[in-house]
Chain A
Amino acid sequence: TQPREIQNEHVRVLFDPLTGHLKEIQNLDKSISLPVFQSFYWYNASIGNDETPQASGAYIFRPNSSEPIPISGSKQVSTYLVKNRLVQEVHQNFSSWCSQVVRLHVGQPYVELEWTVGPIPVADGWGKEIISRFETTLQTDARFYTDSNGRQILERRRDYRPTWNLSQTEPVAGNYYPVNSRIFIKDKKFQLTVLTDRSQGGSSIFDGSLELMVHRRLLYDDNRGVGEPLVELGANKQGLVVRGRHLVLLDTVESAADQHRLLAQELFMAPYTVLAPGGGPSYRRG
């Protein structure tokens, strides 16, 4: 039996009891419910094709298909639920190298997704670019929003550039944009915002969806100058394992910025912990 929900005083997260995937987020303060399916996929890195010999590499993201492949091949995710007073978590295992903890701390008005990805297997000869994708019912009209190098939030439109007529030749890569701290989608009423803990690439490949690239491991050089494939190895000579967090906010369009601006500050300038053995030092109030 898979877990059905976790909840604190602000948010409820529902899971599909059959597949274990996240399936709905509810903002209890505003009585908002939004179906949200979230899972991990990989794009198969291009090694070049008839149109152009361009391979995916350090500089260039170029999948060989617009359809990413689900990491949980059977479409079922094994899960484990931990419910306590201060935290409720669902641990999701997508594969031997991809997992996630969906977490609600007491008092927090957002959902925390802590993902762990890697080492990406490449023994099959395919470079892989891993994404976390959110699918919702929001009517987004080909629009999504990303921050731009830590500056203003910019509207992005799929297959469109505001200052020239675009002939789109790369339906996925041509719609990817830098995400430095946040990406969001919205309709006339509601907004789904995802805050990142590091710079990533992100997009909305179809209406109501939002995705972020969390890791990649490639086997070919893209011939743009670096001269080697992006196949970084860890200390144990395997591919790198990365762990990061996405914070997910669901709110009305009018009040979403009140939440994501403050939360992004907290993420960017997070408190730092120092430890000392024993009783440690005492501090005067001053």
Chain B
Amino acid sequence: PGDSSVLREAVAVAQHHDAVTGTEKQHVADDYARQLAAGWESCQLLVANALASLSGSKENFIFCNALNISVCPLTEVAGRFTVILYNPLGRHMSWPIRLPVNGASYAVTDPQGQPVPSEVVPISNFTHRLRGDGSSAMRELLFQASAPPLGFSTFMVSRMSRGDPRVPPAQTPAL
């Protein structure tokens, strides 16, 4: 079972002025981080349960915590996956999605099954250095996703092979 109280407690502890400003001792900083990570892990179960309940099917939902440095084991290897975008704002949102991939071309469809413009761009050298051997992805899949107020949108992504009629003509980035 998922449980949000673990994260609630961790965030409550982190209201202490030392946590807010970063003036705590190092071992305390480490403990704040440990509590927050445990809280988020527990909340991920809660979110997965909610998504399973909404969809009526139990799925293996994946949370990629290191997307900011382009690390996501699922998108790096899978030929087909689903992106679920939750919008916590009370108005419609459009947001760029960047996912680490190894394929050269992907087809993305929106919740209505309509194609969404997407492209594959190279990952910067800075990110390569930062990740070390934490990821093998050389590129990122980029598309603009939108989601309704306080709601979810699901986008289907599938890797295209050479010769696939859906493959757009190759574009050479200006270097």
Contacts and interface: CB of A to CB of B under 8 A. Distances in A.
Nearest to A112: B96
Interface stretch (A19-27, A124-132, A267-275): A267-275
B117 interface: yes
A81 B121 CA distance: 11
Contacts of B97: 273
Contacts of A164: none
B115 interface: no
Contacts of A56: none
A167 interface: no
A281 B24 contact: no
A87 interface: yes
Interface string A213-243: 0000000000011111010100000000101
B175 A278 contact: no
B67 A86 contact: no
Contact of B93 (A271, A279, A281): A271
A274 B48 CA distance: 9
A275 B26 contact: no
Contacts of A156: none
Given A86-B143, A271-B86, A80 B117 contact: no
A53 to B, nearest CB: 19
Contacts of B14: none
Contact of B85 (A58, A86, A272, A278): A272
Classify the interface of chain B: helix, strand, loop or mixed.
mixed
Contacts of A243: 68-69, 130
Q: Which of A81, A87, A269, A274 has the most CB of B within 10 A?
A: A274
B144 A106 contact: yes
Contact of A283 (B60, B111, B124): B111
A83 interface: yes
Interface string A75-92: 000001111111101010
Contacts of A266: 89, 93, 95
Nearest to B48: A274
Q: Which of B59, B78, B152 has the most CB of A within 10 A?
A: B59
A89 B56 CA distance: 41
Contacts of A80: 124-125, 175
A166 interface: no
A226 B25 contact: yes
A59 interface: yes
Contacts of B62: 274-277
A283 B152 contact: yes
Nearest to A285: B111
A84 B85 contact: no
B84 A273 contact: yes
B20 to A, nearest CB: 8
Nearest to B97: A273
Given A271-B93, A271-B147, A281 B171 contact: no
A80 B59 CA distance: 40
B80 A276 contact: no
29 contacts: A59-B23, A80-B125, A82-B122, A82-B173, A84-B121, A85-B117, A86-B96, A87-B119, A89-B121, A99-B124, A105-B144, A107-B94, A116-B126, A116-B130, A232-B26, A271-B87, A271-B89, A274-B83, A274-B84, A275-B62, A275-B82, A276-B62, A277-B82, A281-B51, A281-B52, A282-B57, A283-B54, A283-B55, A283-B152
What 5 pairs between A and B have smallest CB-CB spacing? A280-B82, A281-B55, A99-B126, A275-B62, A276-B82
Given A224-B23, A278-B80, 5 more contacts: A84-B142, A87-B96, A271-B147, A274-B86, A277-B60
